[in-house]
Amino acid sequence: MTIATINGISLNYQVKGSGDLVVLIMGTGSPGRVWDLHQTPALVDAGYRVCTFDNRGIAPSAESVEGITMDDLVADTAALIEHLGGGPARVVGTSMGARVAQELALSRPDLVYKAAFLAGHARMDYFQQTLTEGERALHDSGVELPAKYRAAVTAVMNLSPASLVDPHTARDWLDLFEFSGGRTSAGVRAQMEMDRTFDRRQAYRAITTPCLSVGFADDRMIPPYLSREVAESIPSARYYEIPDVGHYGYLEQPEVINKVLLEFLAD
């Protein structure tokens, strides 16, 4: 990993492989290394140079506890692409990272050759806004949920029921969530404070970059109809929905996700 001053902050990133640049943008609260489980190896094997990084808010990148905006995250990503030699790059984001990719395609089309959005969204509905308010209130209350209960809630909110049918698979997921969870850092809390009342459907009509919006059929965090709205808003976009996956679809069915991404990103 490399830590460099990019867009005025410390940004932790890594680059693997050679060829055309693909930048992967992770969602709220997660480090860039999550991509290394499945997506980075597949893209490197396909001949791409792949950059993953920790968004501001995720240590050892600057945690920016004084506040984080979407404009900050977009500017960070743009500056990182320029730092790596400039675009246009292929850009893939998931959840919050998908929105970063969407806004980057809108504001800096010179840096984006193609863009793919996993669990993308041009707005959040009332449920997502209420859930975020509840998560912030829970953090600020100082209450710490029992590890097993926290793991069960994480599974319910982020996985498809299809991933929990087999008891052995369910136990593996629950064990992972139980032992990888913990207190929310100040930087992640700053990410959670970002505005959730936006509606960018009209703005996205100006995007001209070729785009793919991927919806996860059993996603409770970003329901697939919100991902479909992104494709309907962007004239150059198409929509693809993957069954039997939740918000962590790229971990639940990585072979399917990778196939879809590789087909879209190819020239």
Q: Which of the residues are catalytic?
A: 95, 219, 247
Inter-residue contact 119 to 249 (CB < 8 Å): yes
Q: Nearest Cα to 100, choosing from 121, 73, 122?
A: 73
Tokens (6 digits) for 49: 């140079």
Backbone angles phi, psi at 64, to 5 degrees: 50, 50
Does residue 131 sit in helix, strand or coil?
A: helix
Q: Give the pair of three-digit tokens for residue 222.
A: 């970003």
* The token pair that represents 158 in the structure block: 């982020």
C-alpha angle 173/214/20, rounded to 5°?
A: 100
Q: Is the peptide bond before 88 cis (omega within 30 degrees of 0)?
A: yes
Q: Give yes or no for a cis peptide into 60 (omega within 30° of 0).
A: yes
